[in-house]
Chain A
Amino acid sequence: MATGELNPNHYQAQRAAKVVQHYLNTRYGSPYRLLGLHRVYSGNAEDVEDSGRKYQLEISVQEIISNMTEKCSAEVLFPRGGQQRSPQVQASCEELLKINTTAQEEALYQQYKMKPSLFSAQNVPDSYGHIDPDTKPFWHLCIVASSFIMLNESSENTLFNVAQVANITQLATENDQLKFDCHVLLHEMVSQEIIHWKLLFIWSPPEGVKVQQMEQLPHCHHCEKPPNTN
């Protein structure tokens, strides 16, 4: 891996920038706010002794629903060492927070908080790329929750995207938080692997998304590990 000034279009800076996207979604993502990496303007990498490699990036991110873009500065530290530690990110992109989604979020929250029948959807998008409009906010939620995984799993040698939500099922509301079980297919670009993860997460407008449990699954995506495996 190179250090110093990086070509912003080449993979090194791009991968680091993608990590920033995942980080921002964990912080700001919601059923009506989802961020995508838009452009990388500049990138710089330096080795930090005993720590790892630190990237300084000038990027822009785009909120995919409103299409608003914002320029941000970010720093990503990929830790060195044998342990699989996740990258650390610092980024300020606060303009995007000003996109007002409160009303929609509140409406969604109220609608599903007390529903007698719980929301459930499979194969989002389907094999043909379609997503039901009613399903979209839940698709967004699962992507936000998956961003915690993608952030954790990222390194200088990976690039993660969500390929598909195999299943999202609403569970009973817990402490005023909507609760979901989500089976997500992540695509890792370098290895081209499709990796299955299962997540349990909660959400409410004031609290945002919080992941309670996450678990990587084997290839057979109907197969569930029974609880209490050794």
Chain B
Amino acid sequence: MMRGFWLLTLLLAASHAERLFIRDQVIRINAESEEQIKLLQALETREELELDFWLSPVSMELPVDIRVPSSSLSSVSEILSANNIAYSVLINDLQECLDEEKFEMTENHIKERSGRSFNFGAYHRLETIYSWMDTLVSEYSTLVTKLEIGRSYENRPMYVLKFSKGGNKPAIWIDTGIHSREWVSQATGVWTANKIATDYSSDASLLDNMDIYMLILANPDGYDYTHNNVHRMWRKTRSVNPGSRCRGVDPNRNWDAGFGGPGSSRNPCSDSYHGPSAHSEIEVKNVVNFIKSHGNFKSFISVHAYSQLLMYPYGYSCKNAAHQAELDAIGTAAVKKLTSLHGTRYKVGSICNINLSSQRRQHRLIIPTASETWLALKHIMEYVRDHPY
């Protein structure tokens, strides 16, 4: 009878292209022995129970989360208690949980203002930023071009803005938004791109000697995800991790430099999961391919949020980078300029030493943040221009 009801529900659901999880439970088990892990792994193979492992039984260190269809609840409960496996109920009725989430998503949907001027002091959705890029390019067509360097996991284009007075000069790379939840990073990218276009259309000097490339949305799938759901805190890409319920790789742990080393996790559910291999993420591969094929980048700047820190290599090792003293001097001077605007203090140092020592301030507005950051960026870029190598 239960099965019949479930199948009927499934048919109805299929007709609405929506799955129903009425009275399904999500349970959590903290396995206390290898035997328990083995038992849970065996449970995974029992297809008639239709268990959906959100966190697969891998080791005793990680919890095992299972969505148990309502029809299998009593069987599973019996099996677990017969084997002395304790569990807790994470979600009592999954459908209730999902209904709530959907309601909130609708409520949270922000309608973009359609207006003639772009509001740099506000956070915008991906589509709005992309169409703004086109207006920037058309307004400063002799200075700015838009290049597609590839597509994201979910097939969104990745656009780099090239600021150039022509030719292929030694170049500076700036990326923002690699961690999608750090919204002020993407917003600073937008403001900065506009600033470069407006400032350098009159004042030539930097672009006489160098080109600037800006990747504003380095993680477009992640950024979109933080807008479309209640997943405002999403950080990673949105790639599927085979064998895991958890999606996404931390793109900033996916580079081929000290890959898999300290500061990254091999757990797909972790927010600092490095991925199955270096450059496994298409978003990262696109950047690598582009930079390698260009062949003449002299400086790389990646803008994140939060933590008032200006950092130079390395993160995976505390040994001094080559020319550490020079890097430190540039950083220190850049930060002095930043501080001159609003008094915001930044720390300077190698990633290994000062990362994770945040000086967390209260929420800052976009334009003051971008403006002060600009002074530091400008300093760095001018230094690179004046010290060709």
B92 on interface, CB distance cutoff 8 Å: yes
- Across-interface contacts of A14 in B (CB, < 8 A): 354, 356-358
**Inter-subunit contact B92/A226 (CB<8 Å):** yes
Which residues of the partner chain A approach B183 to less than 8 Å between Cβ atoms? Answer: 127
Residues of A within 8 A of B354 (CB): 9-11, 14
Q: Scan residues 111-168 of chain A and give those whose CB is less than 8 A from a CB of chain B.
A: 125, 127-131, 159, 161, 163-164
Q: Which of A90-98, A183-191, A199-207 sits within the interface?
A: A183-191
| Complex: A64 Cα to B365 Cα, angstroms | 17
Chain B nearest Cβ from A213, distance in angstroms: 16
Q: Could you tell me the distance between the alpha carbons of A131 and B65 in the complex, rounded to whole angstroms?
A: 35
Residue numbers in B under 8 Å from A11 (CB-CB): 353-357
Q: Does any Cβ of A come within 8 Å of B123's Cβ?
A: yes
A225 touches B90 (CB 8 A): yes
B360 interface residue per 8 A CB criterion? yes
The answer to whether B28 has its CB under 8 Å from any CB of chain A is: yes
Q: When chains A and B are docked, how far (Å) is the Cα of A14 from the Cα of B108? A: 37
Known: A9-B357, A10-B353, A225-B90. A129 touches B363 (CB 8 A): yes
* CB–CB B90/A220 < 8 A: yes
Check B321 for interface membership: any CB of A closer than 8 A: no
What separation, in Å, do the CA atoms of A220 and B271 have in the docked complex? 15
Q: Is the CB of B271 within 8 A of A222?
A: no
Q: Does B233 contact A (CB under 8 A)?
A: yes
Is B91 part of the contact surface with A, judged by Cβ < 8 Å?
yes
A220 touches B91 (CB 8 A): yes
**Which residues of the partner chain B approach A192 to less than 8 Å between Cβ atoms?**
235, 250, 270-272
B-contacting residues, A216-230, CB 8 Å: 218, 220-226, 229-230
Picked from A15, A128, A161, A221, the residue with its CB within 8 Å of the CB of B230 is A221
| B window 257-310: CB within 8 A of A | 263, 265, 270-272, 307
* Distance, CA A10 to CA B26, complexed state (A): 42
- B90 contacts across to A, CB distance below 8 A: 218, 220, 223, 225
Whether the pair B86, A230 counts as a contact (CB closer than 8 A) is: yes
Q: Which residues of B contact A185 (CB under 8 A)?
A: 233
Q: Which residues of B contact A229 (CB under 8 A)?
A: 88-89
Is B235 a contact of A161 with CB atoms below 8 Å?
Answer: no
Within 8 A of A (CB), among B140-193: 183
| Chain A minimum-CB-distance residue to B232 | A127
Residues of B within 8 A of A15 (CB): 356-357
Residue ID in chain A nearest B269 by CB atoms: A219
- Tell me, rounded to whole Å, the shortest Cβ–Cβ distance linking B64 to chain A: 12
B97 within 8 A of A: yes
Which of A125, A190, A224 sits near B363, CB closer than 8 Å? A125
Contacts of B307 in A (CB 8 A): 189
Contact A10 B357 (CB under 8 A): yes
| CB–CB A218/B360 < 8 A | no
Kindly provide the distance from the CB of B136 to the nearest chain A CB, expressed in whole angstroms.
23
- Provide the bound-state CA to CA distance between A41 and B352, in Å: 20
Q: Do most interface residues of chain B lie in helix, strand or loop, or is the interface mixed?
A: loop
B131 within 8 A of A: no
Q: How far is the CA of A7 from the CA of B348 in the complex (A)?
A: 13
Out of B104, B232, B272, B360, name the residue touching A161 (CB < 8 Å). B360
Q: How far is the CA of A222 from the CA of B90 in the complex (A)?
A: 10
Instruction: Report how far A7 CA is from B354 CA in the complex, Å.
Output: 10
**Inside 8 A of A7's CB, which chain B residues have their CB?**
353
Given A11-B356, A14-B357, A159-B358, residue A191 in contact with residue B265 (CB < 8 A) = yes
**B97 contact from A130, A164, A220, Cβ within 8 A:** A220
A194 at the interface (CB under 8 A from B): yes
CB distance from A16 to the nearest CB of B (A): 10
Note all chain B residues with C-beta closer than 8 A to A221: 230
Q: Does B220 contact A (CB under 8 A)?
A: no
**A166 to B, closest residue via Cβ:** B230
Interface residue? A193 (CB, 8 A):
yes
Contact pick for A223, options B86, B91, B226, B272, CB 8 Å = B91
Cβ of B358 and Cβ of A161 under 8 Å apart? Answer: yes
With A10-B349, A159-B356, A220-B97 as contacts: A191 and B86 at CB distance below 8 Å: no
Known contacts A192-B250, A222-B101, A223-B26; A159 and B92 CB within 8 A of each other: no
Bound Cα distance from A128 to B230, whole angstroms: 13
Residues of A with Cβ closer than 8 Å to B?
7, 9-11, 14-15, 36-37, 64, 125, 127-131, 159, 161, 163-164, 185, 189-194, 218, 220-226, 229-230
Chain A to chain B contacts (Cβ below 8 Å), 19 pairs: A14-B354, A127-B183, A128-B123, A129-B365, A159-B357, A164-B233, A191-B271, A193-B270, A194-B233, A194-B271, A218-B90, A218-B91, A220-B26, A220-B91, A220-B97, A222-B97, A222-B101, A225-B90, A226-B89
Given contact pairs A10-B354, A15-B357, A189-B358, a sample of 12 additional A-B residue pairs in the complex whose CB atoms are under 8 Å apart: A9-B357, A10-B353, A11-B355, A127-B232, A128-B123, A159-B357, A189-B356, A191-B270, A192-B235, A222-B230, A225-B89, A229-B88
Residues in chain B within 8 A of chain A (CB atoms): 26, 28, 65, 86-92, 97, 100-101, 104, 108, 122-123, 183, 226, 230, 232-233, 235, 250, 263, 265, 270-272, 307, 347, 349, 353-360, 362-365
